[in-house]
Structure 1
């Protein structure tokens, strides 16, 4: 098969955000199975390069960057390049790639409100919409009412014209079916984790601890892109409520905050790493991982990464929403903030509990390996094309 993955985010392959981890691993997984995969993203210059086993096409549109950033500020759009999906020159430049493939898999569904109907109805290509989360602007509530209305309108338009919709969990699928979208049009393709890359034994723990000044400290870790409001809220909660309670009960504890950092919270208990090349390293030196999230959409890749690294996890209900790990002995779910902190203390003070949770952690994510997920998506696309071929023959 020839597959085009179309994303409006310039950093779609950076692998330091949830969406970039998903895009990269699905592209690599599909290419590893013998498919020809093109990932089309915005770029400063028009360029083609090979990355692992797939091709990356970078294109720019007509609008200058200064205009893009001005419009983005006016419209409260976090990623200015999302506007390229509405830029005629960008659309013209990617046309040849799109027309050469069997399937177009589009990311950021709210950005594709006008592009998806063009691809599906004018260029007559099969369109798959990969929903990292559905109706985010409504569920997270981080934008103005006007933007919520616009995003929801365009998102519904995309779902109408898409041939197939991918969601990351059954819960996300239920949200779409409750909006009248046919169930047979939706396929659950969960987020995953590269289990092999989270091997603690291959990491020099002493060197990594020294890098962050954590020699002699117990470490509680939180991973998240601080450009995302629910993650910023989680860090604020850690700094103001959770960390003080834990540090009062346990000596020599630091909270390690890993990921893109737009603003740091002033707290003696927190250490910010910023973007890291390999998230497995800070996870490997940690004793407990946390996900104190109270709103959001989609599913949290951070939790899968915690478990792949063999870490005991304390999370809110929202933090593990959509993942089939509830009731698992490697995750403690607690929504009360004081009780959340006490759960961390309990794990830090009880090596038997911590070791038991560690043993169960890796086993809990075996079904979430990106290789298995990519193989399932490959089969889904093959069956999808067979059905379309049969339908054309019957006409």
Structure 2
């Protein structure tokens, strides 16, 4: 088979809001992907941790813990327990400028990536780890219609908390590539999406190095068997297989590819922006946390437990945690081999260990639980 042609189309640009970065490769694993495409990242199960793995995620700001008020709805913005505000924007899709356009590329160029904005917003909202200011035009129109009949006093009452402002901007540029491969009557179309992600301070317009989500590549084979992308032509007409001239068929594939790309971005963001909670007490191997779903803790979350005292953070164990709406319960699966861990474990075995005023215990997540990826982010549960 010989490559007939290939063309790259700039698809879209997005802006999102983010917060601080963490990376801990020793506490996360990756899935397999198709021919060099990007992989999902998820947290190791606590049972998979070695003693050397029980460490805080990279770039996690423990210094900010000194500023925490421990009031869920009124947390200091520099405290890692506070939620960051996200604002998403998307530019109009950019089409290719080519002197010799191919008819089949018309269906590729017709794909409107702006529909992805609301999908990504909804996925972020479901994590409950960020606060989202929507850019959904339907919502904006609805609010405009609702406010039209309100008195000034009623409008002021409903807007008493003011307007949320973004903490950071995340820019996502996506490039769409299409290749048509022919071998006589049998042909194959192969598409790929490349996401390039960066962060910007929206107030100074300075590009910053965290969170480090990086580049994401999605290929057709990640979402469909390549056999389904074959087609047969006779006298310039498609006789069977995938219809490359059908905009709906092409959009369906690109939708699946885009969903996977955003799913991978979400899995990386959950590693870069961990959930944090304070440990209220330890009884044996059981732990109680002061926050749950309201702080973005996910079911079966893997969390490193650490003691924070006088500016020093000492990891003591790794736990599996399950949240309720405002609190969480968990079990320390492995204790770290250290004096601090042995001291806390010994006291917890004799009764209930309650952290001292000057030596508090905290829990920080290390990545996305694999079962959460399969059930909430990926299409059809396929990683």
Which of the five TM-score ranges fits, normalised by the shorter chain? under 0.3
Which of the pair has more CA radius of gyration?
Answer: 2
Kindly indicate which of the two structures has a greater share of residues assigned to helix.
1
Q: TM-score, normalised by structure 2?
A: 0.25
Higher relative contact order (CA 8 A, sep 6+): 2
Structure number with the higher strand fraction is 2
